[in-house]
Chains A and B, each alone.
Chain A
Amino acid sequence: MNSLIPLLVAAPLAGAALLLLGGRALDRFGHWIATALAALSFAFGLALFADMLGRDAEHRAVVERLYTWIPVDGFQADISFQLDQLSIVFVLLITGVGSLIHLYSVGYMAHDERRRRFFGYLNLFLAAMLILVLADNYLLLYVGWEGVGLASYLLIGFWQHKPSAATAAKKAFIVNRVGDMGLSVAIMLMFAEFGSFAFGPVFGAAGDASQGKLTAIALMLLLAACGKSAQVPLQSWLGDAMEGPTPVSALIHAATMVTAGVYLITRSAAIFNLAPDAQTAVVVVGAVTLVFGAIVGCAKDDIKKALAGSTMSQIGYMIMAAGLGPIGYAFAIMHLVTHGFFKAGLFLGAGSVMHGMNDEVNMRHYGGLRKYMPVTFWTFLLGTGALIGFPLLSGFWSKDKIIDAAFAKGGAEGWILGLCALTGAVITAFYMTRVVLLTFFGEKRWQPDGDGNLPHPHESPKTMTIPMIVLAFGSVFAGGLFTLGSSFLNFLEPVTGHQEGHPPFNSYVVSVIATVCMLAGVGLAYVMYGRGPVPVKAPVGSLLTRAARRDLLQDDFNHAVLVRPGSALAATLVWFDSKGLDGFVNGLAAAIGGLSGRLRRIQTGYVRTYALSMFGGTLVLVASTLLMRSV
Chain B
Amino acid sequence: MISTHVLAAVGGNSPSIPAPHIEYGQLSPMLVVFGAALVGVLAEAFLPRRLRAAAQLGISLVGLVGGFVAVVVLAAQGHASTRAGLLAMGSVAIDGPALFLQGVILLTAVLAVLTYAEGRLEPRINGHRIDAFAAQAAAVPGGEQEREATREGLRTTEIYPLTLFAVGGMLLFPASNDLLTMFVALEVLSLPLYLMCAIARRRRLLSQEAAVKYFLLGAFASAFFLFGTALVYGYAGTLRLGEIADVVAGTAPVTPALAVTTQNDALLLIGLAMLAVGLLFKVGAVPFHSWTPDVYQGAPTPVSGFMAAATKTAAFGALLRLFYVAFPGIRWDWRPVMWGVAILTMVVGSILAVTQQDVKRLLAYSSVAHAGFILTGLIATDRRGVAAVLFYLLAYSFVTLGAFAVVTLVRDSKGEATHLSNWAGLGRRSPLLAAVFALFLLAFAGIPLTSGFTGKFAVFQAAAGGGATPLVIVGVLSSAIAAFFYIRVIVLMFFSDPQPSGPAVAVPSTLTATAIAFGVLVTLGLGLLPQYFLDLATKASVFIR
A contact set with B: CB distance below 8 Å: 589, 592-593, 595-597, 599-600, 602-603, 605, 607, 609-611, 613-614, 616-618, 620-622, 624-626, 628-629
Contacts and interface: CB of A to CB of B under 8 A. Distances in A.
Given A622-B273, A628-B332, A629-B269, A614 B288 contact: yes
A596 to B, nearest CB: 4
A595 B212 CA distance: 29
26 contacts: A589-B484, A592-B354, A592-B484, A593-B354, A596-B354, A596-B355, A597-B355, A599-B352, A600-B352, A603-B290, A603-B352, A607-B212, A613-B287, A614-B220, A614-B277, A614-B287, A617-B286, A617-B288, A618-B224, A620-B287, A625-B269, A625-B337, A626-B266, A628-B333, A628-B337, A629-B269
B336 interface: yes
Contacts of A605: 294
Nearest to B287: A617
B221 interface: yes
A202 to B, nearest CB: 35
B270 A625 contact: yes
Given A610-B213, A621-B276, 13 more contacts: A592-B481, A597-B355, A607-B212, A611-B217, A614-B217, A614-B277, A614-B281, A622-B269, A624-B336, A625-B269, A625-B272, A625-B337, A628-B333
B484 A614 contact: no
A618 B273 contact: yes
B351 interface: yes
B217 A610 contact: yes
Contacts of B269: 622, 625-626, 629
Interface in B256-287: 265-266, 269-270, 272-274, 276-277, 281, 286-287
B277 A618 contact: yes
Contacts of A607: 212-213, 216-217
B291 to A, nearest CB: 6
A593 B356 CA distance: 10
B272 A616 contact: no
What are the 10 A-B residue pairs with the smallest beta carbon separation, nearest first?
Answer: A617-B287, A610-B290, A596-B355, A596-B354, A622-B273, A625-B273, A621-B273, A625-B269, A596-B351, A618-B277
Which of A593, A605, A624 has its CB near the most chain B CB atoms (within 10 A)? A624
Interface string B216-238: 11001100100000000000000
A622 B293 contact: no
Nearest to A593: B354
B334 interface: yes
Contact of B287 (A589, A595, A616): A616
Contact of A629 (B213, B274, B333, B351): B333
Contacts of B303: none
A96 B505 CA distance: 62
B307 interface: no
A599 B348 contact: yes
Contacts of B216: 607, 611
Interface in B277-325: 277, 281, 286-288, 290-291, 293-294
Contacts of A600: 352, 355
B221 A614 contact: yes
A625 B293 contact: no
Contacts of B353: 596
Given A607-B212, A610-B217, A625-B334, A593 B355 contact: yes
A528 to B, nearest CB: 66
A451 B354 CA distance: 64
Contacts of A593: 354-355
Most chain A Cβ neighbours within 10 Å, of B213, B216, B274, B337? B337
A614 B278 CA distance: 10
A621 B337 contact: yes
Among B265, B286, B287, B341, the one with the most A-chain Cβ atoms within 10 Å of its Cβ is: B287
Nearest to A606: B213
B78 interface: no
B340 interface: yes
A624 B340 CA distance: 10
B270 A596 contact: no
Interface in B318-366: 332-334, 336-337, 340-341, 348, 351-355
A597 B351 CA distance: 9
Contacts of B291: 610
Nearest to B351: A596
A592 B349 CA distance: 12
B352 A596 contact: yes
A613 B108 CA distance: 31
Contacts of B334: 625, 628
Contacts of B288: 614, 617
B314 to A, nearest CB: 20
Contacts of A616: 287
A613 B272 contact: no
B274 A622 contact: yes
B521 to A, nearest CB: 30
B336 A609 contact: no
B294 A611 contact: no
Contacts of B272: 625
A589 B351 CA distance: 10
Contacts of A626: 266, 269-270
A319 B276 CA distance: 78
B271 to A, nearest CB: 10
A585 to B, nearest CB: 11
Contacts of A610: 213, 217, 290-291
A628 B338 CA distance: 11
Contacts of B484: 589, 592
A625 B351 contact: no
A272 to B, nearest CB: 44
Nearest to B276: A621
The residue among A610, A625, A626 with the most chain B CB atoms within 10 A of its own CB is A625
Contacts of A595: 351
A597 to B, nearest CB: 6
A267 B132 CA distance: 74
A614 B290 contact: yes
A616 B213 CA distance: 18
Most buried by A among B281, B286, B333: B333
Contacts of B351: 592, 595-596, 599
Nearest to A614: B288
Given A592-B354, A614-B221, A628-B336, A621 B277 contact: yes
B290 A609 contact: yes
A613 B290 contact: yes
Nearest to A616: B287
Nearest to A617: B287
Contact of A624 (B213, B221, B274, B337): B337
A223 B336 CA distance: 58
B509 to A, nearest CB: 35
Contacts of B277: 614, 617-618, 621
Interface string B453-485: 000000000000000000000000000010010
Contacts of A624: 336-337, 340
A45 B274 CA distance: 83
A607 B291 CA distance: 8
Contacts of B276: 621
Contacts of B220: 611, 614
Nearest to B484: A589
Contacts of B265: 629
Contacts of B217: 607, 610-611, 614
A622 B212 contact: no
Contacts of A596: 351-355
A474 B291 CA distance: 88
A607 B352 CA distance: 19
B313 to A, nearest CB: 22
Nearest to A605: B294
Contacts of B481: 592
Contacts of A592: 351, 354, 481, 484
A624 to B, nearest CB: 5
B450 to A, nearest CB: 24
A597 B332 CA distance: 36
